[in-house]
Chains A and B, each alone.
Chain A
Amino acid sequence: MSDAGSILIVNNITAGYGEGAMVADASFTLASGEILCLVGESGCGKSTLLKAVMGTAPGLQVLSGELVLDGQSLLPLPEKERRLLCTEKIGLVSQSPGASFNPIRTYRKQFIETLKSHGKYDRPAFETMVAEAFGKMGLSDTRRILDSCPYEMSGGMNQRIALSLALLLEQEILLADEPTSALDATIQLQVAKELLRLRDVSGMAQVVVTHNLALAQFLADRIGVMYAGRLVELGTPAQVLSEPRHAYTRALIAAIPTLDGRLPTGLDGAPPLSGPSGAGCEFAPRCPVRRAGCAEKRYSLTNIGGGHLTACSCGSEGAS
């Protein structure tokens, strides 16, 4: 994992609303064309980390750390300049794709508006360009879609149209916040395949936030597990899911229902909603293999070989 060739470098980012940090010391790099999935329970700071990178959430402030987008350090830039640079290079897809469009304006109007604001609107070529992007995302019937409104479309269709727009804007990074969790299983699989297709046709790097570990395994080149605002484990899907080292990762895996009909064991309690406390290991109160002193000791991500990083290796001992 070298920093050279990385389209995005997130270095020790601490961010939050007001004084309290919701994300602490988060670091990762994203290579061009790479898909990184951030997983964890609700309230673990996954979306906040995405928003901190994008820098457009009202009230959210990056308190310390460094963000480098395509070689350009973002945080020293004036806000307006940073926003321009981010919206030019980074696309955002939210959980409810319907919500990122105005439900009662035609896609045509909204596409034109968005392309214009990015300086990419070419009137004579518009429909051809859209048809090409739609084609790549498996949509046909361009004119009919353009003249419909988002409220007329299903969630899956809307999500595909949103992805086509990202393709048209030729952005380099896509940040997707729970892109499939509002959809049912068959459509979910379809959207997941489309995210892969988007990467294959455009080389767009992606950070996908999800609480669905199976989806992360399907999509990701690397998976980052977050707990209480901190990254606790990071590695390839094989490393994180087949040889999880952190007790939290192991507990998350055990909570997934499987087709063999066992009741998932689950994980009692909930993550602290106040974010990282700064004292010791945040997971200690819920950790099945905690040791004396864990609540006071600060664990930081350490490379245990092959790019597999973990804050703690107790999970693997607990399993044996």
Chain B
Amino acid sequence: MTILEGKNICKRYRRRDVSVDALIDVSFSLREGEVLGIVGESGSGKSTLLRQISGLETPDSGELLLAGKPLPAKRTKENYREIQMIFQDAVGSFHPRRKIADSIRETARNLVGPGIEPDWQTLCSLVQLTPELAERYPCDLSGGQCQRFAIARAMAVQPRILLCDEITSALDVSSQAQILKLLDSLHRQKNMSVIFVSHDVAVVRSICDRVMVMYRGRVVEEGTAEAVIGSPREEYTKKLISSVLEVRT
């Protein structure tokens, strides 16, 4: 079943007399329980697409359908709850002067209902951290720990879709591997639908079922991760894959 569909989405940014077409006629679909990867260089429109889906911005034209129903330009709280976004800068995505637990509680109360108390045991064990750590401030945690709490905050409102924008790019290899394993288990346990944006082709290959390649605001190639990354058809995809540095052992 298709949970999210985008049809002919366009987005243009204007500043004074300069305009940039950030998304040109982008269409995609995300099936329930699927991890869809989006790869491309900086400036290819990956994050812009996520911002249109999450409701942080509104597309100039085109349509977004959540489980067959159009998402309104002005989103409701329910819309925000159903689609949760996780960002690259995990530490910066939390209020620096609030304890992690307070930030998570605030999100839950805003989107689910006043007086809601997240189930800390379940939530923390989901992201393999202890509830005591949630009583700390963001600056007292490592980047990897903060990113897990960012995932916990998204999961606290029981979303239908997770949007991940370069969530491992600022982490070192071992934290990256931990986050990838965590996301993979969430996806399997909860049948979570995920859109995973990254410039790292190897990371995308390791976790995604399907992959979409973006270049200058357009989707240039799409298919199963195995096909797109294993035997790319487009020149651009080939170039992207050839610039991946791999460790030869």
Contacts and interface: CB of A to CB of B under 8 A. Distances in A.
Contacts, number: 126
Interface stretch (B55-63, B109-117, B196-204): B196-204
A128 interface: no
Interface stretch (B73-81, B151-159, B240-248): B240-248
Nearest to A264: B177
A184 B199 contact: yes
Contacts of B246: 214, 258-259
B47 to A, nearest CB: 12
Given A251-B174, A262-B206, A263-B184, A42 B247 contact: no
Nearest to B200: A185
Given A263-B180, A270-B144, A255 B243 contact: no
A144 B202 CA distance: 37
A109 B72 CA distance: 50
B229 interface: yes
Nearest to B39: A185
B174 A255 contact: yes
B245 A43 contact: no
B122 interface: no
A178 B247 CA distance: 17
B206 A263 contact: yes
A62 B231 CA distance: 52
A256 B144 CA distance: 15
Contacts of A212: 173, 245
Contacts of A154: 42
A186 B249 contact: no
B248 A267 contact: no
A244 to B, nearest CB: 8
Interface residues on A, range: 35 or more
Interface string A186-221: 111100100000000000000000011111011000
A242 interface: yes
Contacts of B181: 263-264, 266
A186 B240 contact: yes
Given A241-B249, A263-B181, A273-B142, A257 B203 contact: yes
Nearest to A261: B205
B70 to A, nearest CB: 33
Nearest to B140: A273
B226 interface: yes
A150 B239 CA distance: 28
Contacts of A262: 206
A35 to B, nearest CB: 15
Contacts of B170: 181
A41 interface: yes
Nearest to B244: A185
Given A214-B245, A217-B248, A241-B249, A255 B177 contact: yes
Contact of B180 (A192, A252, A264, A270): A264
Given A184-B42, A186-B41, A186-B243, A259 B173 contact: no
A261 B226 contact: yes
B176 A263 contact: no
B66 interface: no
Given A185-B245, A256-B173, 20 more contacts: A42-B142, A42-B172, A181-B170, A185-B200, A185-B201, A187-B41, A188-B245, A211-B172, A211-B173, A251-B174, A253-B249, A255-B177, A257-B200, A257-B203, A258-B247, A262-B206, A264-B176, A266-B177, A270-B142, A270-B174
Closest 5 A-B residue pairs measured CB to CB? Answer: A266-B177, A214-B245, A184-B199, A211-B172, A255-B177
23 contacts: A42-B142, A185-B244, A186-B240, A188-B245, A212-B173, A213-B173, A214-B247, A217-B247, A218-B245, A242-B249, A251-B174, A252-B173, A255-B176, A257-B180, A259-B244, A261-B206, A263-B180, A263-B181, A264-B177, A266-B178, A266-B180, A266-B181, A267-B174
